């Protein structure tokens, strides 16, 4: 009996071994070109990949396409394991471009390919595919990442900031007036008459709709700093290693080891006041507007408000306050549209205001999604050099096909992804999308892009004062040839900064917010503000080292 068991055990083990080896071998013999993209785009991509494969049967002999969802944000992590076994063509968010290039996973787009890219896509998106060496490293796929304001028309109709004769971005009449500020928005909501509320929602007597703005999330907060003239710069060496980072949120002067001087915090002070004035009622007190709602970057509690709208009869919702406006990006468009129905509208961000009443246009980061070609993928590198060149070209052709008008419209219809392709943007459905139109309007105000930052730097003019001290004025000048920022890795996208670069900004806004909530007016004295800003400046420089 015992012996039988032993024999059976041996046979089973041998079978497992053989089966294991066999499966590994069969997996190796399959020749696959991987294509990576978001999970929810799988069906669309599979459809178009099959079409492409049918058109190029000869060149693709022995290979088949395999689509895997890596997510646009996860492309770098997935590629970092080994670019040779990674996707041949893949989508990614533009903040990963420098890192992907450093990995050798992005082929340069040049010659006829670049011509195609430039003639078929919107210029800002094509610009975003270029690193600071001026070369393009990807094809523009989506131009829809950024934030702007969604609002409920019913909440503002007939108020002081409402202009019935102004055209909304989607072409209908009636929109918020140009240059409305946060405080004007709050005042307009307070001025609403009647207690029945709007859109069938009850309104509490003291609060007639809230505006969510994610103050406390550095991605949004930086919009305030950009608005008042803050900036940052990151330099990389030829190997893609970060060598230097400067922040001009309270800006640095070229002299002195301390890096900044007392009294030179114009930018920071303006930012400080704009932050404060975006949530409080007046300059003299720190009373927070009841119409402002603290919301974090992950969409909390905005999501709850949207859920609230989706069930009109749910009056039990905490706060019982309707949502009047929300600052966020395209990812909430469909939900908000469903919630607000015909009152749904989108527009550019509000205007910021400092204590002196000076206005600043709020600017934000522009984000794009690109389609990259991986020159190290096995489909290319496993072939002899001359054939490899043809194969690399085929991948370029595929990338262009996947960025083309037809699939772009299909993608938009399925997921709401805003195309970068000119022809696709002319599609009637796309052209009428309020969210995309608002975004494009906001893009015109974008700070980082496309206003040509990577080619510029600050210069300081020194003038000697009568008392012997030196004061500086700052000028934006075009960068001269000279010292290059590496092999093109000095691209100034949002993620060209180290991850903990954001922490001080977030920290700053959180502390500020807390002080306002706690009503600590003492902390808003001149010297205290400077202390805050000096700390912020030091933290940013320390984090960026």
Partner 1 sequence: MRKISSLEYLSMSKANRAWYKFCSFFANLPAAIGRWFRSLPEKFGKLGAKIGGWFGGLWDALRYGNWKTRMSALIWGFGCFAYRQIGRGILYLAYEIIFVLFITLFGAQYLGKLGTLGTVQQIRDPDTDLVLVMGDNSFEILLYSMLTIAVLVFTVVVWILSIKNAYQNQLGYSIAKRAASGKDDIGQLLNHRFHLTILAFPSLTLVVFTIVPLMFMILVAFTNYNRNTLPPANLFTWVGFDNFAAVLTGQAKGLSGSQDAGRWSYTFWKILGWTLEWAVLATVTNLFLGMIVALLINKKSIKLKKMWRTFLVTVVAVPQFISLLLVSKMLNNAGIYNSILYNLGLPTVDWLHKSAPLAKFIIVVVNLWVGVPHTVLTCTGILMNIPDDLYEAAKIDGANPIKMFSKITLPYMMFVLGPSLITTFVGNINNFNIIFLLTGGSTGLADSRLATQAGDLDLLITWLYKLTVNGQQYDVASVLGILIFIVVAFFSLIVYSRIGSVKNEEDFQ
Closest to partner 1 by CB, 188 or 489 = 489
The token pair at 504 is 């001080």
Report in angstroms how near the CB of residue 243 gets to partner 1 at its nearest.
8
Using DSSP, how many helices (H) and how many strands (E) does the chain show?
Answer: 20, 18
**Cα–Cα distance between 47 and 44 in angstroms, integer?**
5
Phi and psi (nearest 5°) for 247?
Answer: -120, 140
Report in angstroms how near the CB of residue 528 gets to partner 1 at its nearest.
19
Closest to partner 1 by CB, 71 or 498 = 498
Is the Cβ–Cβ distance between 461 and 475 less than 8 Å?
yes
Closest to partner 1 by CB, 109 or 424 = 109
Closest to partner 1 by CB, 239 or 520 = 239
Is the Cβ–Cβ distance between 492 and 201 less than 8 Å?
no
CB atoms within 10 A of CB 519: 12
Query: Where in 25-106 does DSSP place strands (E)?
Result: 32-37, 64-69, 89-93
Closest to partner 1 by CB, 230 or 375 = 375
Q: What is the DSSP-derived secondary structure letter of residue 384?
A: -
Report in angstroms how near the CB of residue 262 gets to partner 1 at its nearest.
21
The single residue listed with the structure tokens 């917010």 is 513
Report in angstroms how near the CB of residue 388 gets to partner 1 at its nearest.
6
Closest to partner 1 by CB, 300 or 476 = 300
* Site residues for partner 1 per CB under 8 A: 3, 6-7, 9-10, 13, 17, 77, 80, 82-84, 99, 102-108, 110-111, 239-242, 294, 296, 300-301, 304, 318, 375-376, 380-381, 385, 388-389, 392, 498-500, 503-504, 506-507, 510, 539-540, 542-543, 545
* β-pair type (139-145, 367-373): antiparallel
Report in angstroms how near the CB of residue 242 gets to partner 1 at its nearest.
4
What is the largest distance, in Å, between two alpha-carbon atoms of the chain? 107
Q: Distance of alpha carbon 405 from its chain centroid, rounded? A: 23
**Cα–Cα distance between 99 and 73 in angstroms, integer?**
12
Question: What radius of gyration, in Å, describes the C-alpha atoms of the chain?
Answer: 27
Report in angstroms how near the CB of residue 301 gets to partner 1 at its nearest.
6
Closest to partner 1 by CB, 21 or 312 = 21
Is the Cβ–Cβ distance between 150 and 336 less than 8 Å?
yes
Report in angstroms how near the CB of residue 316 gets to partner 1 at its nearest.
12
Report in angstroms how near the CB of residue 136 gets to partner 1 at its nearest.
12
Report in angstroms how near the CB of residue 386 gets to partner 1 at its nearest.
10
Closest to partner 1 by CB, 167 or 239 = 239
Which region, left, alpha or beta, applies to residue 268 given φ > 0 means left and ψ of -120 to 50 means alpha? Answer: alpha
Closest to partner 1 by CB, 449 or 502 = 502
Distances (CA, A) of 421 to 38, 334, 361, 407, 411: 18, 21, 28, 10, 12
Helices 218-227 and 266-277, axial angle in degrees (round to 10)? 120
Distances (CA, A) of 295 to 62, 214, 326, 357: 52, 5, 10, 26
């Amino acid at each position: 009996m015992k012996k039988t068991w032993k024999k059976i055990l041996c046979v089973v083990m041998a079978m497992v071994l053989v089966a294991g080896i066999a499966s590994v071998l069969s997996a190796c013999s399959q020749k696959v070109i991987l294509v990576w993209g978001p999970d929810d785009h799988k069906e669309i991509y599979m459809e178009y990949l099959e079409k492409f494969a049918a058109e190029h049967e000869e060149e693709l002999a022995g290979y088949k396409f395999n689509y895997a969802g890596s997510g646009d944000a996860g492309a770098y992590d997935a590629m970092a394991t080994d670019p040779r076994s990674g996707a041949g063509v893949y989508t990614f968010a533009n903040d990963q471009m420098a890192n992907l290039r450093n990995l050798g996973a992005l082929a340069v787009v040049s010659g006829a390919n670049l011509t195609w890219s430039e003639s078929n896509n919107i210029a800002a998106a094509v610009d975003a595919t270029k690193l600071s060496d001026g070369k393009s490293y990807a094809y523009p796929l989506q131009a829809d990442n950024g934030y702007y304001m969604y609002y409920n028309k019913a909440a503002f109709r007939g108020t002081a900031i409402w202009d019935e004769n102004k055209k909304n971005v989607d072409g209908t009449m009636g929109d918020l007036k140009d240059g409305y500020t946060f405080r004007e928005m709050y005042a307009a909501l307070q001025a609403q008459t009647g207690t029945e509320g709007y859109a069938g929602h009850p309104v509490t007597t003291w609060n007639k709709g809230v505006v969510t703005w994610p103050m406390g999330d550095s991605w949004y907060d930086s919009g305030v700093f950009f608005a008042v003239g803050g900036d940052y710069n990151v330099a990389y060496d030829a190997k893609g290693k970060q060598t230097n980072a400067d922040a001009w949120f309270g800006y640095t002067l070229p002299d002195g080891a301390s890096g900044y001087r007392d009294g030179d915090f114009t930018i920071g002070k303006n930012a400080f006041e704009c932050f404060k004035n975006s949530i409080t009622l007046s300059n003299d007190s720190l009373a927070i507007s009841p119409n402002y709602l603290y919301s974090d970057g992950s969409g909390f509690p905005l999501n709850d408000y949207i859920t609230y709208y989706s069930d009109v009869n749910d009056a039990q919702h905490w706060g019982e306050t309707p949502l009047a406006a929300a600052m966020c990006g395209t990812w909430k468009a469909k939900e908000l549209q469903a919630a607000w129905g015909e009152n749904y509208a989108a527009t550019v961000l509000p205007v910021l205001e400092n204590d002196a009443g000076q206005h600043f246009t709020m600017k934000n980061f522009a984000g794009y999604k690109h389609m990259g070609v991986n020159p190290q993928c096995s489909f290319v590198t496993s072939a002899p050099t001359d054939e490899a060149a043809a194969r690399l070209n085929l991948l370029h052709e595929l990338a262009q096909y996947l960025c083309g008008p037809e699939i772009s419209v299909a993608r938009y219809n399925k997921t709401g992804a805003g195309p970068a392709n000119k022809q696709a943007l002319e599609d009637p459905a796309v052209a009428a999308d309020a969210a995309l139109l608002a975004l494009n309007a906001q893009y015109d105000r974008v700070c980082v892009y496309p206003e040509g930052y990577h080619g510029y730097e600050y210069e300081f003019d020194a003038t000697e004062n009568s008392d012997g001290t030196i004061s500086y004025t700052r000028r934006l000048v075009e960068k001269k040839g000279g010292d290059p920022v590496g092999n093109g890795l000095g691209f100034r996208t949002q993620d060209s900064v180290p991850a903990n670069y954001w922490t001080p900004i977030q920290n700053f806004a959180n502390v500020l917010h807390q002080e306002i909530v706690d009503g600590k007016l003492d902390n808003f004295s001149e010297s205290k503000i400077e202390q805050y800003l000096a700390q912020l400046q030091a933290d940013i420089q320390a984090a960026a080292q």
